[in-house]
Amino acid sequence: MTEFKPLVFSGVQPTGNLHLGNYLGAIRKFVALQENNDCIYCVVDMHALTAQLVHEDMATQIRSITAAFLAAGIDAKKHIVFNQSQVPQHAELAWIFNCVARIGWMNRMTQFKDKAGKDREQASLGLYAYPSLMAADILVYRATHVPVGDDQKQHLELARDIAMKFNMDFHDKIVPTGLGVDIKVGEEPVHAYFPMVEPLIDGPAPRVMSLKDGTKKMSKSDPSDLSRINLMDDQDAISKKIRKAKTDPDALPSETEGLKGRPEADNLVGIFAALADTSKADVLAEFGGQQFSVFKPALVDLAVEVLAPINAEMRRLMEDPGHIDAVLRDGGERARVRAEKTMNEVRDIIGFVR
Ligand code: TRP
């Protein structure tokens, strides 16, 4: 069994400010994964056009996600950091995948239904094809592992369906060209060109909820800025937002059981645990029986301790956009070499003349 070489790929859209949820749920995981894996992290600027075509501050948004990656500790020399539009092979493979994916598959995508809303006729064709471009992002590098949030699981299943159909439909072309590798699909050995990507979902990372409503996800689109901690927030803003965070009048319980039915308490304890890299149980072992008037200042201190250095580094990086652009250009060049190799093989498998 020759299995694919492990490769991690993930993408973040350059829309809105990054917040604590993005950091704890995604970026911190990206940082951890680079220890033992070859990683490619992409600012998916072409995806940003799907919901809204014109972005006044597109370049700043791209740079700010890049700055967050670098400030959090992603090593752009060892790994690859770039923005999607610098590698046109993503769009090229996406076109082929548009012809692999079936309309019936796309119609099942729940995120399209949510984002398109009631007036589906007015949604862009790009929004509909979004998951096909996402599959191409990953598979143009034949990446095997994708750290994403729960909401992207369905898109990854679609990527597997696309990979599987391509592998099956072109099987008679893949085998003689010698381009695929043997993989196991369930119990079956299959000779495949594209791997079956696996999501790396959550693990210890929490679902970070709004500071104003513990039942809603922390979101960059929430109209209230007090609902989230942005990675660009300074110490005063972090402290103010945590002090104003919604709570209930009771003291903290000593066991996680006691967090049931207390979404705001659960959220703040979860954030504390994630920032401290421990469990909620450990946090409650320390703070059980204490009032929020004691817990919140401790959370402020911890949040500032973890986030202030990232914040400072992001600000420093953002003062030198030329440097960020150079990092992206270098990453783009290296990504293009790999993507073009795949595309040449795909062209050969399909039978395009080149
Ligand atoms: N759809 C992802 C999101 O909104 C972003 C994304 C685009 C992505 N392409 C990707 C994530 C490829 C992982 C891999 O979060």
Average pLDDT per block of 10 residues along the chain, 354 residues long? 93 92 92 96 98 96 97 98 98 98 98 93 97 98 94 96 98 94 90 96 75 92 93 94 96 96 96 94 96 96 96 96 98 98 98 96
Q: Is the CB of 13 under 6 A from ligand 1?
A: yes
User: What whole-number distance in Å separates Cα of residue 281 and Cα of residue 247?
Assistant: 19
Question: What is residue 16's predicted lDDT score, i.e. its pLDDT?
Answer: 80
Question: What is residue 149's predicted lDDT score, i.e. its pLDDT?
Answer: 85
Tell me the C-alpha to C-alpha distance, in Å, between residue 89 and each of 47, 211, 302, 347.
Answer: 14, 40, 43, 12
How wide is the angle at C-alpha 340 spanned by C-alphas 69 and 82, nearest 5°?
15
Question: What is residue 77's predicted lDDT score, i.e. its pLDDT?
Answer: 98
Q: DSSP letter string over 234-277?
A: -HHHHHHHHHHS---SSPPPSSGGGGTT-HHHHHHHHHHHHHHT
Q: Which of 116, 220, 155, 115 is nearest to 9 (CA)?
A: 155
Q: Is the CB of 50 under 6 A from ligand 1?
A: no
Q: Is the CB of 152 under 6 A from ligand 1?
A: yes
Q: Which of 315, 256, 349 is nearest to 64 (CA)?
A: 315
Q: Is the CB of 8 under 6 A from ligand 1?
A: no
Question: What is residue 202's predicted lDDT score, i.e. its pLDDT?
Answer: 66
Question: What is residue 298's predicted lDDT score, i.e. its pLDDT?
Answer: 97
State pTM to two decimals. 0.94
Judge contact between 42 and 36, C-beta under 8 A.
Answer: no
Q: Which atom of ligand 1 is nearest to the CA of 13?
A: 5
Q: Which atom of ligand 1 is nearest to the CA of 147?
A: 13
Q: DSSP letter string over 151-216?
A: GGHHHHHHHHHHHHHHHHHTHHHHHHHT--EEEEETTEEEEESS---EEEE-TT---PBPSS-TTS
* CA 321 and chain centroid, separation: 23
Q: Phi and psi of 271, rounded to 5°?
A: -65, -45
Neighbouring CB atoms inside 10 A of 189's CB total 12
Alpha helices in 277-351 (DSSP H): 280-287, 292-318, 321-350
CATH 3.40.50.720 fits 8-203+321-350, yes or no: no
Ligand 1 atom 15, closest CA:
12
Neighbouring CB atoms inside 10 A of 341's CB total 14
Ligand 1 atom 11, closest CA:
11
Judge contact between 346 and 177, C-beta under 8 A.
Answer: no
Q: Which of 77, 8, 3, 6 is nearest to 42 (CA)?
A: 8
Our mutation pick for probing the ligand 1 site, out of 134, 140, 219, counting the most ligand atoms within 8 A of Cβ, is 134
Q: Is the CB of 159 under 6 A from ligand 1?
A: no
Question: What is residue 167's predicted lDDT score, i.e. its pLDDT?
Answer: 97
Q: Which two tokens stand for residue 39?
A: 């990683």
Q: Is the CB of 238 under 6 A from ligand 1?
A: no
In the chain, residues under CATH classification 3.40.50.620 are: 8-203+321-350
Ligand 1 atom 14, closest CA:
10
Q: Is the CB of 9 under 6 A from ligand 1?
A: yes
Judge contact between 139 and 93, C-beta under 8 A.
Answer: yes
Residue type, 106: M
Ligand 1 atom 3, closest CA:
12
Distance 131 CA to ligand 1 centre (A): 8
Q: Which of 126, 10, 15, 12 is nearest to 79 (CA)?
A: 10
Distance 11 CA to ligand 1 centre (A): 4
Q: Which atom of ligand 1 is nearest to the CA of 12?
A: 5
In the chain, residues under CATH classification 1.10.240.10 are: 225-317
Ligand 1 atom 13, closest CA:
10
Which CATH class, in words, describes the domain spanning 225-317?
Answer: mainly alpha
Residue type, 58: M
> For 226, which DSSP code?
G
Catalytic residues: 115, 217, 220
